[in-house]
Amino acid sequence: MSMLKYFFEIGSDNSTLFDGLDISREQELCAEYMGKFPVISITLKGATGENFADAKGMLRNIIGNEAMRFQFLLQSSCLTEIERKRYEALINIDQTGAFTMSDELLKASLLLLSQLLEKHYGQTIVMLIDEYDVPLDKAYRSGYYDAMVELIRVLFGNAFKTNESLKLAVLTGCLRISKESIFTGLNNFKVYTVKDVRYKEYFGFTDAEVRKMLEYYGFVNQYDAIKEWYDGYWFGNTSIYCPWDVME
């Protein structure tokens, strides 16, 4: 997800990460997409709690901290005074450092931030949400699942269904996506699972890539051990290594 953020985001300091890589040879694609979009990027891994109130507080903290990245909106000449005040409400904190946005503002927060960024940049936004399902799993195990489902359904409905400022969005998670739950009513939704062939080689390192890396770093003699320990995933019909473990 960070790779997508670095690729799409306007003003990213990491655009040189792609120099010399395969993607850099796709000149038309890079000219159209690389560094062209405002990006909202959050992970919901920490949006959990033993009760619903605590979980909402963590969700406010996650979205509020992401909104803090865009404090230039407070002085943006592209926004009206009312719009700047609405942004200020997203990042306002109390004496304890907790974000104070109301429940209603929380539900509309991703939509509002999208609209403000589009107006400032004159460009639709890209939204990246990692581990979207963690709050739901924790809520199920802690007894407040129905309340969390309703909150996430409204939050995502605003962000994805009624958001004309959205260029595209990517969500990742472990739980199966069901259109009958939090994604009710969303259109043009494409689901890719570990069974799908498309993008199969992009969720980790292929065997050929691992061999090439070991050769580059002078660890060819460790190939058998690396394969035994970390060649543990299948995406589509391709065997994939866990990238974090291989690099470590």
3-state SS, residue 211: helix
> What is the pTM for the complete model shown?
0.88
Report the Cα 158 to chain-centroid distance in Å.
16
Identify the CA nearest to 175 among candidates 144, 200, 138: 138
Q: From CA 5, how far away is CA 211, in angstroms rounded?
A: 28
Cα dihedral sign, 202-208-209-210: positive
Alpha helices, DSSP H only, in the chain?
2-8, 27-33, 52-68, 81-91, 103-121, 134-142, 145-156, 207-217, 223-230, 243-247
Instruction: Answer whether residue 17 shows pLDDT above 70.
Output: yes
Question: Which tokens in the block code for residue 78?
Answer: 């592209």
- State residue 202's pLDDT score: 81
pLDDT one-digit tens code per residue, 48-58: 999 999 999 99
- State residue 96's pLDDT score: 93
- State residue 15's pLDDT score: 66
Residues of the chain with pLDDT > 70, as a percent, come to 96
Average pLDDT, the chain: 91
